Each structure stands twice: as C-alpha cells, then as structure tokens.
Chains A and B, each alone.
Chain A
Amino acid sequence: MSRANTPLLEVRELKVAYGGIHAVNGITIDIAPGELVALIGSNGAGKTTTLKTLAGLLVPGSGQIRFDGQNLHKVAAHQRVSMGIALVPEGRGVFARLSVAENLLMGAYSRSDQDEIATDLARMYALFPRLVERKDQLAGTLSGGEQQMLAMARALMSRPRLLMLDEPSMGLAPLMVKKIFETIREVAAQGMSILLVEQNARLALQVAGRGYVMEGGAITLSGAASELLGSDAVRCAYLGG
C-alpha cells in the first residue's frame, strides 16, 4: 500500500556515453504505476540509448535507476526481464526464422509456469487476432505492422510491470500506426505502466498521460501530455507549427 505513491521507475541523473560521446547527459524520469509516459524528441536525442540503458543492454556512466524501489545498478539485462521490465526494441527485433508462436513463447523465456503461459498466449491471440492467422508462419514473412504487433505481444508474454516501446510507429503505414496506438491505449487501460519512445510526438502525446521532451541527451521539457501538446515550444519543434 505504501507503494502506491512511490514511482515504479525512478531515473536520477542518468548519464550514458559511447566512448567519449555523451548520448544521455544526466536525465531524470519518473513513472508511476499504471502511467503511460511518452519520451519524445528528434533523431539522436538519446531516446533509444535511454531505453537500452533501462533494459540493461548498456552500462550507464553515472546516475541511478530504481525499479520498484530496487537499485538496478548491478542487475543484468536478463534479470531485469524477470523483475518485470520488458523492452520492445527499435526495429521490432522479431526472431525472423522462428514461427509467430515460437516468437511468443520466447517472450515467456524467463517464466516457468506452463499453465499460466498458455493462458497468456491465448490472451495475446485475443489482443492481436491477426497473429492467430499467422501462428505457424515465420515471423520474418510478416508485414511491418504485424511484426510490431508480434514484438509487443512477445514482450507482454513476460508479464512485465513496465513495458518500454521504442518507436512503435517506425516505418509503418498510417493505418497500421493507428492500429498499434489503439492497442497501446488498450494495454495501458488494463493498468500496465508504459514508457513510450516516439518521434511522432503528436501521436505519442495524444495517448500518453505525461511526457518528457528530450534534446541533445537532456530533458528540456516535461509535464502533462495535454500541456505539452499545447506548448508553443513543442509545437514549433516537433509538431510542425
């Protein structure tokens, strides 16, 4: 109960560098349980680096990441998955030469509760009916939109408490983008905490409750999504006037 007010994810003064280049330069982010937070910004702002670091795929230079009150400093990427952090990587990263069903089961790799996994599998097929038809097809043969659905469903198979989506709209037809964002809204409505990284700022802010604007490795603006949508600075920089 005491947990209700404490954020699920706390990022404090996080710095990440590739060699000498600071990609992320001291950012601070909070995500409360059940919140949908958008992280927007242009190319090269450091959004993907942030997500990869949160997932444990990159090692931060300094700063702190706390998940559910626990310091993630020494926690490896694969352990973070079982703690409840799931990443849908940029470019979807489906296992091209495995079937759709095998991809989904890979999502439950960190779990061993066979019955519950079967239940979740059925739930994913209900959430993404398109995947049922494609069940035995190789993931590499799916369309971009279907692959994005598969990547999301696969991440959800680990029963995460925080779902991190990296550019889900990338390279998709407008109709598909709409569909994907409807699903994101649906998943959020079920109480999932989501960190959504997007270049398409308008779309992201329309579904999110709160947003952070990232520029040159730092957070330049943050607040309620509706406020950001109305702010002149965001409008000029990302929404095309």
Chain B
Amino acid sequence: MSRHSLCGSFCFELLATLLRGFCTVKNFKFTRQHLLFSLMLVAVLLLPFVTDALLGRGWVRIVDFAMLYIMLALGLNIVVGYAGLLDLGYIAFFAVGAYCYALTGSPHLALAFPMLFPDGLHLSFWLVVPLAALLAGGFGVLLGAPTLRLRGDYLAIVTLGFGEIIRIFMNNLNAPVNLTNGPQGISRIDPISVAGVSLNATQDVFGITLPSVHLYFYLFLGFAALVVFVSHRLEKSRIGRAWMAIREDEIAAASMGINTRNLKLLAFAMGAMFGGVSGTLFAGFQGFVSPESFSLMESIMVLCMVVLGGMGNIYGVILGGLLLALLPEILRHSVVPLQQALFGKTLIDPESLRMLLFGTALIVVMLYRPAGLWPSRVRRRELESDETTV
C-alpha cells in the first residue's frame, strides 16, 4: 500500500511541478489542492464523453438524473444536516418546481383557461427559475410555520403528510378546472434553451458536437456547482452556525440570542428553494411531469442519500446522491443479463431485487459507518472520541 501511495504522490508532485512551471500568473501559487481541483474539473467536464464512449448514450441520461438527485440531496442537507429538522416530504418542493415550469412552459394552460391563454403560457425557463424558487420557498415556509414547535419523529410525520398532500393535489387538481391534468401529467413542456439555443437538439460548440444529453449535463453541472457554492457559504456563515446551534439544543440556541423561529423557517425555505429549482430543471429535461415522480419513496431516497453519504458534509452528500442514483441503474443493467447468462432466463425481477439490495446496503453502512460514507469532520471527531471514551 505504501509503495503504491508513494508512487502516486510522486506522480502528483511531478504533475504539480510541471503545471507550476506553466503558471506564470503573478503571486499565484499552484498548490496540490489547486492541482487536485483542476484534475477533478477536467474529469467532470469529460464525464459525458467518457460515459458516452464506454457505456452508451443512455448512461449520460442517467448521469444527468444523478446530477438532479445531487442537487436535491444538497437542498435537503440544509434542512436535515444543518438545522437538524427531519423532513420526510422534501420531494414536494421538487414537485412544486417541476409543476411550476410544466404549467408556465407548456401548452397545457390552454386546456384550463382557453380564453386567457389560447396557446398556453410559454414563459422563458430563465424567468420561471426564480419564480419557482420563490414559490417553493413559500411552500417551505408554509410547511415550517405550523411545525415550529415539533421535533424529531413528530416533525417527520407532519412533513411526510405534507409531501403526500402535495402529490395528491397534483393527482386530483384536474377538476373542476384542469390545472394539473391529474394522473396523466403534463407533457410537451418546452425544452430549456440557453441564450436562444435549445438544449433539446444536438449543437456544435467550438467545433465539438454536443448531443442534447451532454448539453443538459453541463447545464445541470452549472446549477449543481451553484448549489454547492451556496451550501458551502451557508455552512460557514453566521446563519449556518445558528442552524447548527439549533440542531444541537434549541433552548440553548434561543438563550444565545438566536431567533430560532425565523432561522428554522429560513432553513425550510432555503432547502425548498433548491428543491424547486431542481424541479424546473427536471421538468425541462423530461418534457413531461406526472404525480408519480413525486412519491414518498422519492423523499425517502433523497433522505437516504443525505444520511448514507454523510449528513452535514457537502462532499459526503454528493457522494451519497451519486451512488444512490447510479446503483439502481447499474443493477437494472447487470441483473438481467447476468441471470440470462447463468440460468438462461430471468428468475428475479431487477425491480424487486433493487429494494432488497438497497436495504442491505443501508443496514451495512449504518452498522459500519454510522456517520455516513464521508462524514463531516465534526461527526468523525465525535465518533472517534466515542471510541476513546468507551
């Protein structure tokens, strides 16, 4: 192991020295961290091409969805990881964002209000994003306000109910006015376009041919980077510290002069805004939304990403999101061929195997890495000191 890492670090130093040589910017020191960051950036930028070449275009689409899940997980991380408010209905904000763009960016409103919008309302995606963020944030406050005095299990139950209420509303708001088109969902949502260029068609950028899924990948990457940046700043800010104090002890936090009511509402609103923005991206990418995308299972999935990856740690949450978004797909693509090769027919449906393996994975992780795969520094310290005191 030591030889391996020695060799690795040697290559690392070599690369860093080479890059330092190229760096002529004044007062700019090219450190190992910078190198690591640039390497990662290049890897992420090349990801759709590599995936396309190795696994096929369908997988780029899966990676796109993984990016959406990462954004959702980071949003929920604010509520659960920072402020310690257990939210089991988080997907509702994703739904609010998705329906927000579905209604304002498709011909659907023509059905509901033929006089008002004969062709439906086709607002620009970039106009809808802030609107959806605000609306979802509003819903966040709506959920937060009545639950201010609840904690733990009780809060979980109410948020779970809230998530279901939103989904059932989407399912049933097709009468008396057909607002959401019920279980059929809303289709023909306008694709997202950036600077007048539609992302739904193959485009040539600087001589490089980019298929639609690649274009969406870069769009999602940009939004995910923004979410990471905001999360990071929040974590280090006065607000972030206040959230953590509330998470640890609400009475003590109030005695420190923290306005616990407003800060809890803010946590709900911020988390919901991230969820809402991801929702608009989802709607634009899919071109179709229906209530079944926003089931309780999805909320639990996002919560699992946060917990499994490492609550409160941005990188852990990203890892959790990536793993849990990709694993089911990997299973789906490997279980059937494997069974065909072994038994000549499919004995177990991959869908049912998925939940079995997923549950096992969760139990194993919680047993051996109770703070998550990549825990925050504080959680790790806590567990270490637990070991030393026991």
Contact = CB atoms under 8 A, between A and B. Distances in A.
Interface of A: 55-57, 76-79, 81-82, 86-89, 93-99, 102, 105-107, 109-110, 137-138, 140-141, 151, 154-155, 158
A158 B248 contact: no
A69 B120 CA distance: 63
A98 B247 CA distance: 11
Interface in B230-270: 238, 241-242, 244-245, 247-249, 251-260
B254 A96 contact: no
A103 to B, nearest CB: 9
Contacts of A99: 378
Contacts of A88: 255
Contacts of B260: 77-78
B259 A95 contact: no
Between B247, B252, B385, the greatest number of chain A beta carbons within 10 A of the residue's beta carbon is seen for B252
Contacts of A105: 241
Contacts of A57: 251, 254-255
A141 B390 CA distance: 11
Given A76-B259, A109-B258, A138 B251 contact: no
A82 B257 contact: yes
B252 A109 contact: no
B33 interface: no
Between B238, B256, B381, the greatest number of chain A beta carbons within 10 A of the residue's beta carbon is seen for B256
B255 A110 contact: no
B248 A154 contact: no
B292 interface: no
Nearest to B241: A106
A104 B84 CA distance: 21
B236 to A, nearest CB: 12
Interface of B: 238, 241-242, 244-245, 247-249, 251-260, 378-379, 381-382, 385, 389
A93 B257 contact: no
22 contacts: A57-B251, A78-B259, A78-B260, A81-B255, A86-B255, A87-B255, A94-B248, A94-B249, A94-B252, A95-B249, A97-B248, A97-B379, A97-B382, A98-B248, A105-B241, A106-B241, A110-B256, A137-B385, A138-B378, A138-B382, A141-B385, A158-B256
Given A93-B249, A106-B241, A154 B385 contact: no
Nearest to A80: B257
Given A76-B259, A78-B254, A94-B252, A106 B382 contact: no
B381 A138 contact: yes
Contact of B389 (A55, A76, A141, A155): A141
Given A78-B258, A88-B255, A102-B241, 18 more contacts: A78-B254, A79-B257, A81-B257, A89-B249, A89-B252, A94-B248, A94-B249, A97-B378, A97-B379, A97-B382, A98-B244, A107-B256, A109-B258, A110-B256, A138-B378, A138-B382, A141-B382, A158-B256
B388 to A, nearest CB: 9
A93 B247 CA distance: 12
Contacts of A98: 244-245, 248, 378
A77 B259 CA distance: 8
Contacts of B381: 138
B248 A95 contact: yes
Contacts of B379: 97
A86 B256 CA distance: 8
Nearest to A96: B248
B382 A93 contact: no
A89 B382 CA distance: 23
Nearest to B388: A141
B242 A77 contact: no
A98 B376 CA distance: 12
A89 B248 contact: no
A148 B245 CA distance: 17
A155 B260 CA distance: 17
A95 B378 CA distance: 12
Contacts of B254: 55-57, 77-78
Contacts of A95: 244-245, 248-249, 252-253
A165 to B, nearest CB: 12
Given A97-B378, A98-B244, A141-B389, A154 B251 contact: no
A64 B389 CA distance: 48
A-B pairs, top 8 by smallest CB distance, nearest first, are A81-B257, A110-B257, A93-B252, A95-B248, A87-B255, A78-B259, A141-B385, A93-B249
Given A106-B241, A138-B385, A81 B256 contact: yes
Contacts of B389: 141
Contacts of B257: 78-79, 81-82, 109-110, 158
Contacts of A137: 385
A141 B385 CA distance: 7
B17 to A, nearest CB: 34
A99 B242 CA distance: 14
Nearest to A82: B257
B255 A55 contact: yes
A206 to B, nearest CB: 26
A109 B255 contact: no
A10 B342 CA distance: 83
Contacts of A97: 244, 247-248, 378-379, 382
Contacts of A109: 238, 241-242, 245, 256-258
A24 to B, nearest CB: 18
Given A138-B382, A140-B382, A141-B389, A106 B245 contact: yes
